[in-house]
Copies of this chain bind each other. A is one copy, B any other.
Amino acid sequence: MRTIEWREDGVYIIDQTKLPHELSIIKCMDYERIARAIENMEIRGAPAIGVAAAMGIALAAKSSLGKSIEDIRENLERAAMRLAKTRPTAKNLFWALERLRKIWINEEEGIIEKIIKEALSIAEEDVISCRKIGEYGSQLIEDGDVIMTYCNAGGLACVELGTALGVIKMAFRLGKRITVFVPETRPLLQGARLTAFELKHEGIPFKLITDNMVGYVMQKGMINKVIVGADRITRYGDIFNKIGTYTLALIANAHNIPFYVAAPISTIDLETSTENVIIEERDPKEVLYIKGVRIAPEGIDVMNPAFDMTPARLISAIITDVGIFKPPYDFASLR
């Protein structure tokens, strides 16, 4: 199945906290359950949480059937406020909510049907976006490449296929012989759990490493390209992505290894300046416990920022669903 699916009786999502050991499906009956799924990272990845938020609004719309237009708008606004509070960094979440808000603000009739239709469009467009990113990006991949990716920018971070991992899958499906290096991506191990799961399923050869091996493998000349996803891209091409991406980009640059970012244009934020993007600080328990086992002494201080910022100067190209952008970046033309 897809990472997230709209069905007659609810929204079905793959529980990503249970992978790779268990393929467990969560049925969400209301926007509150969707909001909690985003917060708990049962669903994660910038495009996927955009789609999840849209489907959360669609569930709120459906539950408003038979209500007055004022009540419908109030319900949808309340759902949007709740969903907007789940996670602050990924742009796609806010982009999806804004896109749907235009409908309930501007339309007077058939709002519920229009909202549901638009939410489903957002999901379908994500599928098409990933394919386009894969088509554009795979042109950058050569036969024999050894590519490092990071965290999970795969089908599980989207509706299907993926962004950075979509590029890799597409190149592989086109017959290019590729090997992938997968840093495990602490604290929640999306590399070890999710990217490894997807690559294994796809039959693409890969090696798992810990995050602190990045310098070693690049120094040894084992990697010739890096490709990662993004949670937010600012106007001039600074990117926010999983904590550790900045470290990866610096190390890649020190070894003259091309560093690519792959994301749909719904990830681009033309309004917020880089300094003003909020980096989510998550529960210290994510660092202190690995699958319920405590790894450090009691009573200590922990930091747990979920993202970091990679400046545009470290990025060789940004692969989007409307084409490949090269530096100097200015996305204002996309407005």
Contact = CB atoms under 8 A, between A and B. Distances in A.
Interface residues of A, number: 53
A61 to B, nearest CB: 38
**Copies per assembly:** 2
B251 A208 contact: no
A290 to B, nearest CB: 5
Interface in A209-266: 209-217, 219, 243-244, 246-247, 250-251, 254
Interface centre among A185, A247, A293, A303 (most CB of B within 10 A): A247
A331 interface: no
Contacts of A305: 213, 216
Interface in A276-324: 287-288, 290-297, 299-305, 308-309
Given A219-B246, A247-B251, A290-B293, A299 B200 contact: yes
Interface in A152-194: 183-187, 189, 192-193
The 5 residue pairs across chains A and B that have the minimum distance between CB atoms = A212-B244, A215-B247, A186-B210, A215-B246, A211-B212
22 contacts: A20-B296, A183-B212, A184-B186, A185-B212, A189-B296, A192-B295, A196-B297, A200-B300, A207-B303, A208-B288, A208-B301, A213-B305, A215-B244, A215-B250, A216-B244, A217-B303, A219-B308, A247-B247, A250-B254, A290-B290, A290-B293, A292-B293
